Amino acid sequence: MHQLTIAEIIRGLREREFSSVEITRQLLTRIEQLDGDLNSFISVTAESALRQAESADQRLAAGDAPALCGVPIAHKDIFCTRGTRTSCGSKMLDNFVPPYDAHVVEQLQAAGIVSLGKTNMDEFAMGSSNETSYYGPVRNPWNPGHVPGGSSGGSAAAVAAQLVPGATATDTGGSIRQPAALTGTTGLKPTYGRVSRWGMIAFASSLDQGGPIARTAEDVAYLLSAMAGHDPRDSTSLNRPVPDFTATLGDDIRGLRIGVPKEYFSEGLNPDAAARVQDALKEYERLGAELVEISLPHTHLAVPAYYVIAPAEASANLSRFDGVRYGYRCENPADLRDLYMRSRGEGFGEEVKRRILVGAYALSAGYYDAYYNKAQQVRRLIKQDFVQAFGQVDVIMGPTAPNPAFRLNEKTDDPVAMYLEDIYTISANLAGLPAMSLPCGQVNGLPVGLQVIGNYLDEARMLNVAHQYQQATDWHRASAPFAQTAGEQ
């Protein structure tokens, strides 16, 4: 049963082929036996999962259960969960047990899902490789010597290893799409505000967005339909109707105009990965779509603008972790200043400290206009590039990441090289646009992702575009070697 997609689990539960308790037990056993080699989970909530599964089976038997009722998933450890540790991958929150659930968690609980636990992540979502976690790096199921991407690497690796059929994740500069690309899974970052950030521990408030990772676009559509919705507790939450994203998955895409940015196929892109993306674009032509070359001229400014804006917002958001109210507290502080300094110095990891320092500098007196204000002006230019492009095309496509998964520790000593792994994903966050990644091939046995960027609130079209490709190809059905070997055990 661990090989089933969410859509297949939904059908199996409805047709009484198995119960939610049965599939939950199998996945919990699989996690217990196999995750020691991947480190994709921080916390496993077996007892509560079985209780939820029993409740789901009762709802299913009564015949009034929502679509996702009884489906097991996992939550990225950035979403607050009542009574369950929420660490955000950091020593700072290693002892934090929230008294409330995040809005996303509430929504999925109302839909009847079963939560198996909390997945590993880069500390405070800061990273592109899942190597900054206080709990150690996550390994890629396609090759355990390689990274799964970040910051949602735990969610992506757990799905790719068939430990769970789907998981929640977050995306600030590519943290859903990049790990999805590196693990051969499908992940979507919705329009900014489509999914509430309430109860999601903040990194950069104007960029953070929750979304799902699963194996197929159809599965992602099911999860997003449940996750999205207006939340009055989040001032940035959009008060717009949430469609059933599965309802339009069969729509014809003939005549679809696909924009192909010339800036996305320049120096720095792995040539073999570029070839796989081009093959995917040709498949879309065979499906009746039209390719249109476009330009996003300010793409090269996305990384520098992001790494001013995001650290600036992070330095403000992380100031709440002071050793006083909750989280890590140093031992025997001499005074208040010592309490602040040692609690933060001992509780935060190196990458988090680096970004706090950069952000504080960018916001300091005399540098605000030169750095932060200028970065926001660049952000506006990037957004205008997309507005102009969507006057010509329906969706935009290109590579998700410049390279397949790189080796563990390969880039840890070179922060700039690590930051450049997000070069194709950051622009969508700066503009607030929805974007997703789906598998489109392999290079040396490692997955390659195709990125699809849509116009505002156009997730339904994007999911259908991805679904049509997955109906015509088999890349989303490929199993990671770890999942295949583990399945034989």
pLDDT at 427 over 50: yes
Token duo for residue 410: 């390969």
Look at the block and give the residue holding tokens 């970040």.
150
CA angle 132, 138, 141 (to 5 degrees): 150
pLDDT in tens, 435-470: 999 999 999 999 999 999 999 999 999 999 999 999
pLDDT in tens, 398-421: 999 999 999 999 998 898 889 889
What is the distance between the alpha carbons of residues 449 and 374, in angstroms, rounded to a whole number?
A: 32
Token duo for residue 191: 């329009």
Predicted local distance difference test score (pLDDT) of residue 366 = 85
Q: What is the band of 489 on the pLDDT scale with cuts at 50, 70, 90?
A: very low
Q: What is the mean pLDDT of residues 228-254?
A: 96
Q: What is the band of 486 on the pLDDT scale with cuts at 50, 70, 90?
A: low
Question: CB–CB of 356/124 below 8 Å?
Answer: no
- Just list the catalytic residues: 76, 151, 175
CA nearest to 126, candidates 153, 95, 146, 147: 153
Q: Superfamily for 6-255+460-487?
A: Amidase signature (AS) domain (3.90.1300.10)
How many CB atoms are located within 10 Å of the residue 419 CB?
A: 18
Predicted local distance difference test score (pLDDT) of residue 267 = 85
Q: What is the band of 177 on the pLDDT scale with cuts at 50, 70, 90?
A: very high
Predicted local distance difference test score (pLDDT) of residue 416 = 87
Phi then psi for residue 240, to 5 deg, are -125, 150
What is the distance between the alpha carbons of residues 340 and 92, in angstroms, rounded to a whole number?
A: 12
Predicted local distance difference test score (pLDDT) of residue 315 = 95
Least confident span in 96-100, 145-149, 423-427, 484-488:
484-488
pLDDT at 488 over 50: no
pLDDT at 102 over 90: yes
Token duo for residue 7: 């859509």
Predicted local distance difference test score (pLDDT) of residue 64 = 86
Instruction: Give me the percent of the chain exceeding a pLDDT of 90.
Output: 94
Q: What is the pTM for the complete model shown? A: 0.96
3-state per-residue secondary structure call for the chain = CCCCCHHHHHHHHHCCCCCHHHHHHHHHHHHHHHHHHCCCEEEECHHHHHHHHHHHHHHHHHCCCCCCCCCEEEEECCECECCECCCCCCHHHCCCCCCCCCHHHHHHHHCCCEEEEEECCCHHHCCCCCCCCCCCCCCECCECCECCCCCCHHHHHHHHCCCCCEEEEECCCCCCHHHHHHHCCEEEECCCCCCCCCCECCCCCCCCCEEEEECCHHHHHHHHHHHCCCCCCCCCCCCCCCCCCCCCCCCCCCCCEEEEEHHHHCCCCCHHHHHHHHHHHHHHHHCCCEEEEECCCCHHHHHHHHHHHHHHHHHHHHHHCCCCCCCCCCCCCCCHHHHHHHHHHHHCCHHHHHHHHHHHHHHCCCCHHHHHHHHHHHHHHHHHHHHHHCCCCCEEEEECCCCCCCECCCCCCCHHHHHHHHCCCHHHHHHCCCEEEEEEEEECCEEEEEEEEECCCCHHHHHHHHHHHHHHCCHHHCCCHHHHHHHCC
pLDDT in tens, 365-381: 888 888 999 999 999 99
Look at the block and give the residue holding tokens 């690309």.
181
pLDDT in tens, 153-173: 999 999 999 999 999 999 999
Q: What's the mean per-residue pLDDT of the chain? A: 96
Token duo for residue 393: 């095309």
Q: Which residues of 10-33 are buried (b: 16+ CB within 10 A; e: fewer)?
A: bebbeeeeebbbebbbebbebbee
Q: What is the mean pLDDT of residues 123-134?
A: 97
